Structure 1
Amino acid sequence: MTSNISNSATTSSASSNNGGKSTNRLRSTRRRTTLAVGLALALGLGATAQASAGSPRSVSGSPSDNITRIADFYGAYIDAVTDEGGGKLKDELRKHYLTPAFQKELNAWEAKNHADGVLQAQNVPLAWKVTDNGTANYTEAGVTLTWSSDTSTKLVVGMTRDHKIFHLGTKGAAGS
């Protein structure tokens, strides 16, 4: 008797004389082989799928880059507004990042509109994105605040060369 699977017809005919014991053994071997191959494939694919599920994200920036500073400000500000007890941090961030004149301007806007001047809203966005608009004498950035999957607000933020925000609105500091 041979154990080669390609010779299964010979094995089957030979095993019929043994009361079918060899046929059962061959079927059992095939089942184990199929199960082992299936298990190996499943485990192999599972490991591959898990390893490629997502690569680590990275965020980079530079303290001398105004776009980074504007993004840092919005990230920290939104955290302060969202986090319980973040009111003092929110105020400190405004003092650190905004010019004194612009702080007064925002305070007046907030009193008139009953909303947060930095966010230009009463709510807190789910996400934000900062994009360089490019200007010569100061940095102008577009800030997109996302409120839901289909609602966002676009703001224009101006920052001086000494890293202070002096303008925020729907148009740039030059009115465009």
Structure 2
Amino acid sequence: MSSKTRTVLTAGVLAIALGLGATAQASAGAPRSVSGKTSDNITRIADFYGTYIDAVLDEDRGNLGKALRSHYLTPAFQKELAAWEDREHADGVLRAQNVPLAWKVTDNGTAGNHTEAVVTFTWGSGTTTKLVVDMTRGSHRIFHIGEKGVGRK
């Protein structure tokens, strides 16, 4: 990897880790670009998942992962997620015991006081799973993560 590539990658990871509202997009043969807005809930959900997955891959969930949960999830949902994890013996943010190879966040609309996104994970086997993630418009915090097609309680 060239030093220019390393510099660009390091800057991109730092921007996401600092919550600067970065999302990556690329097309075949074109240079990648990163953009986003800190006021946009879809950008914030993408920032959270990108950084959280990096933390889990780096086996740093005890530090960065916990801090990310504290920053991006409502306190009530953090408790709900902990109960889910105890019951299911899996990571509640990913709804899995392992880490996806790729992820994509898609806007699924706004209703009332929250934004809904669909997060699609691609796993090593090539299969995909989808989660529905809800974030408040006011506090920009996640208050629900659930499997797509499974209703909330």
Q: CA deviation at 1:171?
A: 4.2
The structure that is strand-richer by fraction is 2
Does the 8 Å CA contact 2:130/2:148 hold for their aligned counterparts? no
Match of residue 75 from structure 1: 50
- Structure-2 change in CA distance of 1:157 and 1:58 (3 Å): same
Match of residue 141 from structure 1: 117
> What TM-score do you get using the length of structure 2 for normalisation?
0.75
Task: Give the secondary structure class of the aligned counterpart of 2:50.
Answer: helix
Q: CA deviation at 1:85?
A: 3.4
AA in 2 matched with 1:148: G
Tell me how far apart the structure 2 counterparts of residues 172 and 93 of structure 1 sit (CA, whole Å). 26
Segment drifting more, 142-151 vs 119-128 = 142-151
- Structure-2 change in CA distance of 1:102 and 1:78 (3 Å): same
Compare relative contact order (CA 8 Å, sep 6+) and give the higher one, 1 or 2: 2
Kindly provide the CA deviation profile for residues 127-163 of structure 1, in whole angstroms up to 9, marking residues without a partner as x: 1000000022210000001113531110000000120
Unaligned runs of 5+ in 1: 1-52
Match of residue 107 from structure 2: 132
Unaligned runs of 5+ in 2: 1-27
Rg: which structure is higher?
1
**Map 1:19-168 → 2, pairs under 5 A:** 54-137=29-112, 138-148=114-124, 150-161=126-137, 162-168=139-145
Tell me the number of residue pairs that the alignment of Structure 1 and Structure 2 aligns: 123
Does the 8 Å CA contact 2:103/2:122 hold for their aligned counterparts? yes
Task: Give the secondary structure class of the aligned counterpart of 1:159.
Answer: strand
Tell me how far apart the structure 2 counterparts of residues 173 and 164 of structure 1 sit (CA, whole Å). 21
The structure that is helix-richer by fraction is 1
**Structure 1 residue ranges, 4+ long, deviating more than 3 angstroms after superposition:** 171-175
Task: Give the secondary structure class of the aligned counterpart of 2:93.
Answer: coil
AA in 2 matched with 1:164: R
- Structure-2 change in CA distance of 1:173 and 1:114 (3 Å): closer
> What TM-score do you get using the length of structure 1 for normalisation?
0.65
Task: Give the secondary structure class of the aligned counterpart of 1:143.
Answer: strand
